Amino acid sequence: MDTSLINQLELMALEIAHAAGDLLVDQRPSVMTVDTKTSETDVVTAMDKAAEAFIIEKIKAQRPNDLFIGEEGTVNNSDNPTNVKWIVDPIDGTVNYLHKHPIWSVSIGVKVDEITQVGVVHAPLLGETYLAIKNQGAYLINKNGRERVQITRNTTLSHTLVATGFSYESAKRKKHGQVIAEISDQVRDFRRDGSAAIDLCMVGLGRVDAYFETGLHPWDYTAGALFVEEAGGKTGGLAGKPLSSDLAIASNQGVFEEFSNLIRTCHKKFY
């Protein structure tokens, strides 16, 4: 792998994520324009669209022929495409952003030849940025500098603190609630922050031990999944498959097999 290319992509992703975060904080209107997507609870704000346009403009200014996929529908089909693809979520946790809840993030994953090489999840109101570089580790960046992080070493399912999220589709939300009820006596407790990208990074940071969710998209998990893996954890989906919209699972290596088998069994039962 071309190290100079990876270095360029890392610096770009960090710079652009921070700039987008500043825009979302500083230019947040007092009255938000809101539309809906898949349901009445699945919202998109004018700031989602503005931030995505801002991010894509910044990418194209430096690398005009790269491909990219954005949550709000931006797709670049260059006539002379490179082997680099950007997967962008301008606000992961839009409902939190709308309600002035601090847990939301700008998520940028970068693939080279379809392999994720760089992941940046920037949480402006938490004062933290989570950076992962393929085969180079996962890092927490905050006011104290840049620190390499490692996942928890917990090996006991009953001691496992689990993060999760719920679909905005009511039927899927009910099914997910059934899964939660089914496993509630087998794990320590649950946390629900409202940003899949941040949830995945919390696994990598060791603030939770495991995570699962259904209905995600590549822009939700691409950067965060790399962070988990580079922190020493594992990710997966349905049996024998990588994480996907059908099912996303992440945990430390000590509980991954037991936890993933449990979640897959419940998914088969209720979905």
User: Which of 39 and 182 is assigned the larger pLDDT?
Assistant: 182
Q: Please provide the average confidence, as pLDDT, over all residues in the chain.
A: 93
- Residue 90: which CATH number? 3.30.540.10
* Single residue among 146, 167, 182 that ends a domain in this structure: 146
CA angle 96, 100, 105 (to 5 degrees): 50
Contact 250, 243 (CB under 8 A): yes
- Residue 199: which CATH number? 3.40.190.80
* Single residue among 146, 172, 207 that ends a domain in this structure: 146
Contact 194, 165 (CB under 8 A): yes
pLDDT, tens digit, 9 for 90 and up, residues 86-142: 999 999 999 999 999 999 999 999 999 999 999 999 999 999 999 999 999 999 999
Cα(102)–Cα(93) distance, integer angstroms:
9
* Single residue among 106, 123, 146 that ends a domain in this structure: 146
Residue 39 in this model has a pLDDT that exceeds 70: no
Q: Examine residue 107 and state whether it is found in any structural domain, yes or no.
A: yes
Instruction: Give the number of domains in the chain.
Output: 2
Q: Examine residue 152 and state whether it is found in any structural domain, yes or no.
A: no
Query: Nearest to residue 178, comparing CAs of 271, 251, 261, 41?
Result: 271
What percentage of the chain carries pLDDT values higher than 70? 95
Instruction: Kindly provide the b/e burial profile for residues 138-150, where b requires at least 16 CB atoms within 10 angstroms of the residue's own CB.
Output: bbbbeeeeeeebe
Which has the minimum average pLDDT: 47-56, 63-72, 140-149, 150-159? 63-72
Residue 31 in this model has a pLDDT that exceeds 80: no
Q: Is residue 120 domain-shared with residue 219, that is, in the same domain?
A: no
Supply the range of the domain harboring residue 222: 157-270
Query: Which residues are bridge partners to 86 per DSSP?
Result: 68, 110
Cα(176)–Cα(167) distance, integer angstroms:
8
Q: Is residue 75 domain-shared with residue 181, that is, in the same domain?
A: no
The pair of structure tokens assigned to 164 is 């999760």
What is the model's pLDDT at position 77?
63
Helix (H) or strand (E) holding 259: helix 256-270
What are the residue ranges of helices labelled H in 27-169? 46-62, 94-98
3-class DSSP state of 100 = coil
| pTM, entire model | 0.94
Residue 42 in this model has a pLDDT that exceeds 70: no
What's the rounded mean pLDDT across residues 38-56? 81
What's the rounded mean pLDDT across residues 199-221? 97
What is the model's pLDDT at position 80?
82
Q: Examine residue 151 and state whether it is found in any structural domain, yes or no.
A: no
Cα 142 off chain centre by: 18
What's the rounded mean pLDDT across residues 214-218? 95
